[in-house]
Structure 1
Amino acid sequence: MTTLTKTEDTPAPTGPEAFLSVRDLRVRFSTEDGVVKAVDGLSFDVERGKTLGIVGESGSGKSVTNLAVLGLHNPQSSSVTGEILLDGKNLIAASEKEMERIRGNRAAMIFQDPLTALSPYYTVGRQLAEPFRKHTGASRKEAKARAIEMLTKVGIPQPALRFDDYPHQFSGGMRQRAMIAMSLMCNPDLLIADEPTTALDVTVQAQILDLLKDLQQEFGSAIIFITHDLGVIANMADDLLVMYAGRAVERGTVREVLQQPKHPYTWGLLSSMPRLGGDINEALMPIPGSPPSLLNPPSGCPFHPRCAFTEKVDGERCSGERPLLAEGRAAACHLTPEQKRTIFIDDIKPRLG
């Protein structure tokens, strides 16, 4: 299992196998209305060759976290603090020149929308070959051969001919495959996939997911897979981090979190999904309310305004005391372990079937 943080506020020792270690990460954006606390004390580790899934609603901080890992935030309007250790090197303290050597080389990202991520002014082949030349010093001929090789690996038909095509000449699934090929050109140690299948139909989505798993086996990359789809993450990840309002609220192996969830927010996510084999007329159970404003997040547990179980906690702990995420398999919630077990067995599990 991926070794993760001891608490959200206290950095934990880096595990011996951790390749990426994020410690007490905080990302703030300055706006006209105030400071947005997009990520608020987040810690996790990822091992080589393993996949960490990060799930949560839109605005929970998933993408912001991973843009911070690659140093892609505008320093004029944002601040990033904490530690992001990539194989022991703190990326937050790295210069822009150092980050340029890391991006696309040791760490790469598959963006959610390849049509906007790929430049419309350059051929797909050129967009694959030029970063490879920059990082490796390869000749044009070598870079073209490598690009065609990677287009072949990701299943692009007639890759030597498609090398000279522009992004608009590719279908949505092919553009996503080209993005994956681009991210793998330099055999990165870390691959960040930011909802890479959101805009694809289910058939192409399955092909892309299988492709990522096959390529991970071949290259041994660590993967961070960001999604809001728990069905996708069940088939992709080894470990799972559930985020809400810029914080981690639950973590564990995929099997632990999806089969025995311990946080009311995770219960809500699972209960709002349609059941395989369930009644087609069965009503879904959405989480009540809306995600909080990160300009002025709630005190205490950020989920307490939407939680149906606050009355089971003594006093006003939910609204006044921030629950911490303990080491190992854990959920940041003031409910006792026995209460979590009872609620899950009596109220939640019957809904999940």
Structure 2
Amino acid sequence: MTTLPTTEGTPAPTGSDPFLSVRDLRVQFSTEDGIVKAVDGLSFNLERGQTLGIVGESGSGKSVTNLAVLGLHNPKSTTISGEIHLDGQQLTGAREKTLEKLRGNKMAMIFQDALTALSPYYTVGRQIAEPYMKHTGASKREGRQRAIEMLTKVGIPQPNLRVDDYPHQFSGGMRQRAMIAMALVCNPELLIADEPTTALDVTVQAQILDLLKDLQQEFGSAIILITHDLGVVADVADDLLVMYAGRAVERGSVKEILTQPQHPYTWGLLSSMPRLSSDVNEALYPIPGSPPSLLNPPSGCAFNPRCSFPAEVAGGLCTEKRPALPDGRAAACHLSAEQRQTFFTEQIKPRLG
């Protein structure tokens, strides 16, 4: 399992620097209503060839975190602190020219809405070739040939013909494949996939996830897979980071979190998922309430207004003190390990089957 450090303070050195290291990342937006703390003290590591799944509801800080890694936030309205190191290079505070050399080359992103991300005015082939020509100095002819190669790799039929098509001439699944081709055209060492299977049917979802796994084996890329669906990462990710209200609340390997989740929020995510083995009339267990406002988050644990446990079970700490996330396999929760294990075994595990 990839070592994932604590979100509280600077983690202890692990003996060798990880490929991607994020430490105490904080991202704040200035709005007319006040300061939005979109990411509030997040840390994690990612090694080459590994996949980290980041899961959580909309507004939990997943995409904001990865846009900060890529340096895509508007500096006029965004304040970013903490440290982001990619292969030993500091990205936080780096000049735009430095980031431009890295984006699309050493690091790339697959956006969740391919129809919006792809320009309707240019052919798919031109859009795939553009970053390749920019970063390698290749000619237009070489760029076109590279685009055809990448369309072939991602499974687009008749790539020598479809290279001249426009995005609207592609189906949803084909557009997503084209986005993956564009992201991988320069063989990036870090690939960020932001909800890559959103709005795709189940069959196409499986094809896209299998494609990511195959291409990772070929290119050796480190992948961050952002999703709100734990089922999506079950067969793809090595480790999981569960986020809520801008903070990490649980981390561990995929197997550990899916079979022995330790945080009440993770229990809620798992309990609200339908299962193929369940009866069609079986009730689901949605998480009550809504995610908190990041303008004015609740005191103590941000999840406490929606938690299954009354605050007094943890001695009142839930509403008074924000829980830390210790090193290693851990959950940021004031409940004792015994309390959580008992509740999970008696109440949650029967729901999950």
Provide TM-score, normalisation by structure 2.
0.98
Q: Which residue of 2 aligns with 1:155?
A: 155
Residue 279 of structure 1: how far off its partner (Å) = 1.6
- Cα deviation, 1:228-265, whole Å, max 9, x if unaligned, reads 11111101100000000000000000000110000000
Q: Distance in 2 between the 1:134 and 1:103 partners?
A: 11
Q: Which residue of 1 aligns with 2:9?
A: 10
Structure 1 residues 159 and 14, CA, compared in 2 at 3 Å: closer, same or farther?
farther
Secondary structure (helix, strand or coil) at the match of 1:65 reads helix
Q: Which residue of 1 aligns with 2:174?
A: 174
- Cα deviation, 1:242-297, whole Å, max 9, x if unaligned, reads 00000000000000011000000001111111132212111111111110000001
Residue 145 of structure 1: how far off its partner (Å) = 1.2
Count matched residues: 352
Residue 131 of structure 2 is aligned to residue 128 of structure 1? no
Residue 52 of structure 2 is aligned to residue 56 of structure 1? no
| AA in 1 matched with 2:33 | D
Q: Which residue of 2 aligns with 1:94?
A: 94
| AA in 1 matched with 2:9 | T
| AA in 1 matched with 2:171 | S
Q: Which residue of 2 aligns with 1:21?
A: 21
- Cα deviation, 1:31-83, whole Å, max 9, x if unaligned, reads 11111110000000111000000000010000110111000000111111101
Secondary structure (helix, strand or coil) at the match of 1:26 reads strand
Residue 18 of structure 1: how far off its partner (Å) = 1.7
Secondary structure (helix, strand or coil) at the match of 2:92 reads helix
Q: Distance in 1 between the 2:10 and 2:17 partners?
A: 17
Q: Which residue of 1 aligns with 2:82?
A: 82
| AA in 2 matched with 1:206 | A
Q: Which residue of 1 aligns with 2:106?
A: 106
Residue 123 of structure 1: how far off its partner (Å) = 0.8
Q: Which residue of 1 aligns with 2:191?
A: 191
Gaps of 5+ in 2: none
8 Å contact from structure 2 (residues 242, 248) kept in 1: yes
8 Å contact from structure 1 (residues 323, 334) kept in 2: yes
Secondary structure (helix, strand or coil) at the match of 1:313 reads helix
Q: Distance in 2 between the 1:310 and 1:253 partners?
A: 28
8 Å contact from structure 2 (residues 25, 82) kept in 1: yes
8 Å contact from structure 1 (residues 239, 251) kept in 2: yes
Residue 139 of structure 1: how far off its partner (Å) = 1.6
Q: Distance in 2 between the 1:265 and 1:252 partners?
A: 14
Residue 319 of structure 1: how far off its partner (Å) = 0.6
Secondary structure (helix, strand or coil) at the match of 1:191 reads strand
8 Å contact from structure 1 (residues 14, 21) kept in 2: no
Equivalent positions of 1:28-39 (< 5 A) are: 28-39=28-39
Secondary structure (helix, strand or coil) at the match of 1:318 reads helix
Q: Which residue of 2 aligns with 1:259?
A: 259
8 Å contact from structure 2 (residues 123, 166) kept in 1: yes
Secondary structure (helix, strand or coil) at the match of 2:181 reads helix
| AA in 2 matched with 1:167 | P
Provide TM-score, normalisation by structure 1.
0.98
8 Å contact from structure 1 (residues 193, 226) kept in 2: yes
Q: Distance in 2 between the 1:9 and 1:17 partners?
A: 19
Q: Distance in 2 between the 1:178 and 1:302 partners?
A: 39
Identical positions, percent: 76
Q: Which residue of 2 aligns with 1:290?
A: 290
Q: Which residue of 2 aligns with 1:205?
A: 205
| AA in 1 matched with 2:319 | S
Structure 1 residues 169 and 140, CA, compared in 2 at 3 Å: closer, same or farther?
same
Gaps of 5+ in 1: none
Residue 312 of structure 1: how far off its partner (Å) = 5.4
8 Å contact from structure 2 (residues 311, 318) kept in 1: no
